[in-house]
Structure 1
Amino acid sequence: MDAFFYNMEHIMMEERKETLVELKHIHKEFPGVKVLEDISVAFYPGEVHVLLGENGAGKSTIIKIISGIYQPDKGEVLIEGQSGAKNIREAQQRGISVIHQELSVIEDLKVYENVFLGREEKKSGFLNKEKMIAECKRILDEMDVAIDPRSPVYKLSNGEKQMVEIARAVSQNSKLVIMDEPTSSLSDHEVQSLFRVIRQLKKDNVAVIYISHRLKEILEMGDMLTVLRDGMKIATVPVSTVTEQKMVEMMVGREISQFYYKAKAPENKELVLEVKNLCSKNHFKNVSFQLYKGEVLGVAGLIGAGRTELMRAIFGADSYDSGEVFLYGESLKGLQPKEIIKKGMGLIPEDRRGQGLLLEKTVRENTSLASLKENSHSGFIDFSWEKREAISYIDKLRIKTPSDSAIIKNLSGGNQQKVVIAKWLLAKSKILIMDEPTRGIDVNAKAEIYELMKNFVEEGGSIILVSSELPEVLGCSNRIMVMREGYVTGFLDSAEATEENVMLFASKGNEEVVYE
């Protein structure tokens, strides 16, 4: 730790006495793996305390220890000066709420039922639905979120589901709210609504633990910052004393000289994919574009622009009403995803855990998933082929896993995403649709995935990159297609693309549609 940060941390500890939650010399191990080593950090009322680190640095384990899911092997947890919670229920009773990165809403329940789950209001022994609906509406209105409390949750977007989780935490009158990647699925408007909620929590003297890989958010909302690396604390400092570059250096332990990797645009425009006037009611209208060999085509736009729905339709996962998709000059109309995969296209979905992986299966089984049939004999899996290829891609893509037989759900987000990419490389895909490929992934894993993308297109592949992070689109794409409310509003070459130009097209009205 820098001497400056070390001295500053001890001065701050002397100045502030009343902690809400404090971890003292916490150690935690799982079989053969040290997860946390001698972690000491304090969280104070009315402060936003950011936990920053790569996936696997120990952030989630700290959350689980504070919220009573895990108990430390050594060390002490104090909540308002008393011993820590023995289980989740006790932690909740003592004022600790957690908004997890992976959504935990119950899809078949209504919004108000999710918000008051386990704390239902009753009147004369019966559920007081009217009171819960009214209170839920009040909370959502204060958050500036237009969601009907009576709506079934399965009808909501991922961003809206996240706002329901946040509403549930706010409704509990918590003393500490833990937010794990809360903005990963939110639109810009929803992000600003969340920030207003956080500012109000601070005014109400509530402590907030905030986890995010979006460094700009940290600089905007954070008060204190604790950086973790490989289960150890690097420093605890005021956010006002660091820059984005300093945070990256503290997180990875070295300076990252290159972050985004952009392949050279192809000189000879060999058309590989063409979309003509594709329409789907309520999702997208008259979408036309071309994709060339050796190119990364970025797709930008605000949440609700129809980008994910368009990509799923191109891949054959969803139907569309009119228009046509041509792959190497051949129409894909009426084909199923399994047939499109055989023709050389792969989809890395926005929701990798829900749609891109079999979480209870191994790294090996997930890697071979799209290639099993072609490499089976008389209906039997060639296990030697499967193991050999899995180990090969673990090595090629630098996937951090104990072995090819590790269960995929236990890997970090970045390594899970590498397995999804390995699946399509093994399937000999020549075109990859990558929908939010680095969402919820730490800065080091992002750089590795950008490098994989660059290598893929330089070897003759083509990528459609859908991302809500403008720096990512600008940093990796040769051309950018911008969408708004289901329409294509413009195309930009990388030389002319800036955040301002992209946002100009993203905010255009539909009467200003521009076609390539």
Structure 2
Amino acid sequence: MASLTTAGSTTAASTGTAPNISLRGIGKSYSGVSVLRDVDLNIGAGEVHSLVGENGAGKSTLLKILGGAVRADHGTLSFDGEQAAISGPRDAIRHGVSLISQEGALVPAMTVLENVFLGRWSNRFGLARRRADRARFDELIDVTGFAVDPQARVDRLPMGTRQQVEILRALARGATVLAMDEPTAVLTEHEKENLLGLIRRLAAGGTTVILVSHFLDEVLAVADRVTVLRDGALVITDDASQLTPTTLVRHMVGREIDVLHAEPAPVQPDAPVRLAARGLRRGLVDGVDLSVRAGEIVGIAGLVGSGRSETLRLLFGADRASGGVVELDGETLTRLTPRKAMAAGIALVPESRKEEGLVMVRSVRENVALASLAGRRYGPFVRPAAERTSVDDVSRTVDIRAAQPAAAVETLSGGNQQKALFAKWLLREPRVLLIDEPTRGVDVAAKTQIHRLVVELARNGMAVVVVSSEIEEVLGLSHRVLVLRQGRVVGEFPRGAPREDVMAAAFGHA
């Protein structure tokens, strides 16, 4: 595989100033499928430049090429007019570029401080100087305004805080270019506002920020210029002030689409309570009561650490409750486990599709079929014809777009991976669907499809519980919204409630 063209000697990291970046003719293919096609792009020093497009448009691949995580098949990359060879992350860092990816690159068993200065600890005569590192850490905290415990282990931190650690590490490396892939996808509203403010401050100080995001309002609020990619090709680059969410969507998908939330059907007045919990508790969850009727969508809002995801895990039996009861159609589910929950008709779409939902190296068909194998077994064998028919039918229902069902699910875009996760559970025809972050990391078109799918499932009588960090998503999808704070339900709001009221309850200002 060819690398990018040979390097010059001057680096942005050595001068402490952000470079002007030029990409010319960048191309990349996987297994014969082109994901980037001769992309030309200029990024000015000290600007916030956003890349937008549908899943699979090539945004993340372009960012990874710049950050050294992926090598281009052809094309050139230049910093301040000098061509550079970027064959790995070390080369990118040498030029002042630090990649902050969706997947993260922290060492889970190490502390925040150890991760921030990994490979760059202060030392004298080969001995680490932790006091000096702590002083440097405190300086970074002053710059960013983050509240992160330097001695906390990373694997015990919520996703939003891990994102902050990634940013601290990039700044500790002296990065003058931050290449950020969906940096706000795991953050609460308050954390998003803080991060966008930090991006503006960094850019004002001369740092270049290249931002990939599916949140179009966020893009237009913070970016100086926006580049739209579609099917691996550059469609347009324009000043953010000249664009709107509607025009961006039109450039992204090549047509007009309705980006509004689908309207849920009214719940039937005599609809029975399908799922109920009383006094549910364990860890962060401290006595949660909730009920969901057949055909109803109940949203759960709250800050990171409020117990949102933990509540869903208790309802599914993924964690064993230390107190309280869960009832399905009036019957108590004792000693609940995922196996018992599935047998009773409860399904959980987890927060992380890569870590908890899908087997990334296996095929689309195998992943979709995984949760319902027992229904297609004949003795110890699976009936392949029945499996193909079932998987193909549900894949069409949720509109999974894959080159072929035998393709590994890791080759799909984020939106199609998320659809595969929904399809996996829909094959079981559950009575209750618990959804944690239904559209995290998916583009606007896939988000619209998933929202319509959730509304249609409820219309057909399914009881749905939705957890989302996007307050607009919770409000747009739900018939009712419960707000959690410190593991307790502190507010309940009907459809149409003001966003400000819900946020005030989450922050404890209601």
Would you say same fold, with TM above 0.5? Answer: yes
Note if contact 2:431-2:462 (Cα within 8 Å) is conserved in structure 1: yes
**AA paired with 2:83?**
S
Is residue 449 of structure 1 aligned with residue 472 of structure 2? Answer: no
The answer as to whether partners of 1:145 and 1:190 remain within 8 angstroms in 2 is no
Q: 1:176 maps to what in 2?
A: 177
Contact 1:133 1:150 (8 Å CA) reproduced: no
Where do residues 418-457 of structure 1 align in structure 2 (5 Å cutoff)?
418-457=419-458
Distance of 1:132 and 1:366 partners within structure 2: 45
CA contact (8 A) 1:212 1:218 kept: yes
Paired letter, 1:330: E
Structure 2 contact 64–99 (Cα < 8 Å) conserved: no
Is 1:216 aligned to residue 217 of structure 2?
Answer: yes
SS at match of 1:163: helix
Q: Which residue of 1 aligns with 2:21?
A: 21
Question: Alignment partner of 2:135: what SS?
Answer: helix
The equivalent residue for 1:48 is: 48
Q: Distance in 1 between matches of 2:98 and 2:504?
A: 39
Percentage of identical aligned residues: 38
User: What does the per-residue CA deviation read over 1:40-97, in whole Å, with 9 as the maximum and x for residues that have no partner?
Assistant: 1111111000001111011012112222343433432212212233312211111110
* Distance (whole Å) between structure 2 residues aligned to residue 475 and residue 196 of structure 1: 26
Q: Does the 8 Å contact 2:376/2:382 carry over to 1?
A: yes
Alignment partner, residue 63 of structure 1 = 63
Q: Which amino acid aligns with 1:76?
A: T
> Which letter does structure 1 place at the counterpart of 2:208?
A
Q: CA separation in 1, counterparts of 2:86 and 2:221?
A: 34
Do the aligned partners of 2:318 and 2:338 also contact (CA within 8 Å) in 1? Answer: yes
2:278 aligned partner: 276
Name stretches of at least 5 consecutive residues in structure 1 with no aligned partner.
Answer: 1-17
1:154 pairs with 2:155: yes
Task: Write the letter of the residue equivalent to 1:296.
Answer: I
Q: Could you tell me how far apart the structure 1 residues matched to 2:395 and 2:214 are? A: 24
The AA in structure 1 aligned to 2:21 is: V
Secondary structure, counterpart of 1:254 in structure 2? coil
Describe the superposition over 1:232-282 as per-residue Cα deviations: whole angstroms up to 9, x where unpaired: 11111111111222222221221113531122122222111111122224x
Partner of 1:10: none
Change (3 A) 1:210 1:258: closer
- Matched residues in 1 for 2:143 and 2:202: separation? 12
Distance change (3 Å), C-alpha of 1:508 and 1:125: closer
3-state DSSP class of the match of 1:326?
A: strand
Please give the residue correspondences for 1:250-289 in structure 2 after superposition, counting only pairs within 5 Å.
Answer: 250-257=251-258, 259-267=260-268, 268-281=270-283, 283-289=284-290
Alignment coverage as a number of residue pairs:
491
Question: Do residues 77 (structure 1) and 77 (structure 2) align?
Answer: yes
Contact 2:186 2:469 in 1 (8 A): no
| Separation in structure 1 between the aligned mates of residue 374 and residue 235 of structure 2, nearest angstrom | 48
Shift of 1:19: 6.0
Asked if structure 2 preserves the Cα contact closer than 8 Å seen for 1:285 and 1:486, the reply is yes
| Rounded Cα–Cα distance in structure 1 between residues aligned with 2:68 and 2:153 | 30
Instruction: Give the alignment's TM-score, normalised by structure 2.
Output: 0.92
Deviates most, 101-110 or 200-209: 200-209
Cα deviation 1:381-409 (Å, max 9, x = unaligned): 33333333222222222111111111111
Which residue type is aligned with residue 240 of structure 1?
S
Aligned to 1:392: 393
Output the CA distance in 2 between the equivalents of 1:189 and 1:318: 28
Q: Does structure 1 retain, via aligned residues, the 8 Å contact 2:96–2:174?
A: yes
In structure 1, distance between residues paired with 2:261 and 2:426: 21
- TM-score, with normalisation over the residues of structure 1? 0.91
Q: What SS is found at the alignment partner of 2:334?
A: coil
C-alpha contact 1:143 1:196 (8 A) present in aligned 2? no
CA RMSD of aligned residues (A): 1.9
| In structure 1, C-alpha distance between the alignment counterparts of 2:91 and 2:500, rounded to whole Å | 49
Alpha-carbon distance change, 328 to 302 in structure 1, aligned in 2, over 3 angstroms: same
- Is this contact kept in 2: 1:137–1:148, CA < 8 A? no
Aligned match of 1:314: 315
Question: Using the alignment, how far apart are the partners of 2:220 and 2:419 within structure 1?
Answer: 29
- 1-side partners of 2:119 and 2:348: how far apart? 38
Question: How many angstroms does 1:113 deviate by?
Answer: 1.4
- Report the residue type matching 2:399 in the other structure: R
